[in-house]
Amino acid sequence: MARLLLTGGAGFIGSHTAVVLQQAGHQLVVLDSFSNSSPEALRRVEALTGQSIDVVTGDLRDPNAVERALAHGVDAVVHFAGLKAVGESVEKPLLYWDVNLTGSRVLLEAMAAAGCRTLVFSSSATVYGIPDHVPIPEAAPVQPNNPYGRTKAAVEQMLADVAASEPGWRVASLRYFNPVGAHPSGQIGEDPLGIPNNLFPFVSQVAVGQRPHLKVFGSDWPTPDGTGVRDYIHVMDLAEGHRAALEVLLDSADQQLTLNLGSGQGHSVLKVVQAFEKASGRPVPYELVARRPGDAASTVADPALAKELLGWSTRRGLEECCRDGWAWQQANPSGYR
């Protein structure tokens, strides 16, 4: 059993990981500003696990807030907090550099001062930009093509520099592919504010009747059906990947890991639409429109290294992603509101 700090633990991935970590016997402290989440998510995690969470409401960039969170006697940190919208990062690059980079620097300084040197960081497949080949191994070039991705690549680099500067650091940067789905209870899930940017929440809002149709961005990609291909990973598989990474770190001496968390399977936009229609029994009307600037034709993980080093691989497929995402959407058509 360890005492773990989850920054951004009330968010989509953080809340699901909280369930898995509590069920594995760990005690949790969450630091969150609730800028993109609701305290209700944490109440539901507590209801699912029957265990309480210590919550510190505050901003990651505020050293006092981070110090307060670490004062709970934390063995390791899972660092989810940050901003994640590609389009917004193009419009507000300084905000992204501030929250994602300054926030991570403040966290690392406070961790060093508190003598806590074990960290799992939420990186992203976005660091690969437009990949030269799929599936993408971790050794592929890091060439992000938007400010969001550049902040993730910069934090990875900062972590590597810190880990190399003194002994005792144990760090894992986890490059997530496309996290989707929800806890199978339908109690917690993804709750985007406003119009979703991402395919899955958009499709589920179309299926539930909140939006008239999906726009499919590009039907002339060099893929089997012409629509974009992605590696969708069920958020519960992703949560289990964090548990595996933490357990490996907590069992090792100095350690620096950079790992893809993906399934290794690619699905096109039209395949997702069909799978969601089947899971929901509802039609998902769509319109084929122009490509979205900055998109890649296909991004699919090579997940072999995570399997080798963590003994982890995904267990749930596209069908479960749609089934669980739909259960959440149906039970909570307005999210946590």
Nearer to ligand NAD, 53 or 282 (CB): 53
Binding site partner of 269, from ligand UFG, ligand NAD, none, Cβ cut-off 5-8 A by kind: ligand UFG
- The number of beta carbons lying within 10 Å of the beta carbon of residue 141 is 10
Helices (H) and strands (E) in the chain, counts: 12, 14
Omega cis (within 30) before 137:
no
Binding site partner of 13, from ligand UFG, ligand NAD, none, Cβ cut-off 5-8 A by kind: ligand NAD
Integer Cα distance of 336 and 214 in angstroms: 23
Nearer to ligand NAD, 14 or 241 (CB): 14
**Which residue's beta carbon is nearest to the bound ligand NAD?**
11
Exposed/middle/buried for 228, CB within 10 Å: 0-12, 13-18, 19+?
buried
Closest approach of Cβ 268 to ligand UFG, in Å?
A: 8
Closest approach of Cβ 48 to ligand NAD, in Å?
A: 17
Binding site partner of 228, from ligand UFG, ligand NAD, none, Cβ cut-off 5-8 A by kind: ligand UFG
Nearer to ligand NAD, 34 or 286 (CB): 34
Report the DSSP pairing between strands 170-176 and 229-230: unpaired
Integer Cα distance of 236 and 45 in angstroms: 13
- The number of beta carbons lying within 10 Å of the beta carbon of residue 52 is 12
Closest approach of Cβ 34 to ligand UFG, in Å?
A: 20
Catalytic residue, chosen from 96, 128, 148, 176, is 148
Closest approach of Cβ 267 to ligand NAD, in Å?
A: 15
For residue 318, give both structure tokens: 């596209």
Helix/strand/coil for 76: strand
Closest approach of Cβ 158 to ligand UFG, in Å?
A: 18
Nearer to ligand UFG, 22 or 124 (CB): 124
- The site for ligand UFG (CB under 6 A) is made up of 84, 86, 124-126, 176-178, 197-199, 202, 214-217, 228, 230, 269, 292, 295
Helix/strand/coil for 159: helix
Binding site partner of 219, from ligand NAD, ligand UFG, none, Cβ cut-off 5-8 A by kind: none
The answer to whether 232 is a known catalytic residue is: no
Helix/strand/coil for 305: helix
- The site for ligand NAD (CB under 6 A) is made up of 8, 10-14, 32-37, 59-61, 80-82, 84, 99, 103, 122, 124, 176, 179
Nearer to ligand NAD, 91 or 166 (CB): 91
Dihedrals φ, ψ of 180, to 5°? -145, 180
Binding site partner of 202, from ligand UFG, ligand NAD, none, Cβ cut-off 5-8 A by kind: ligand UFG
Integer Cα distance of 243 and 249 in angstroms: 10
Helix/strand/coil for 158: helix
Binding site partner of 189, from ligand NAD, ligand UFG, none, Cβ cut-off 5-8 A by kind: none
Closest approach of Cβ 187 to ligand NAD, in Å?
A: 16
Residues in CB range of 54: below 8 A, 6 or more apart: 28, 29, 30, 72
**Which residue's beta carbon is nearest to the bound ligand UFG?**
228
Distance of CA 225 to the CA centre of its chain: 27
Active site residues: 148
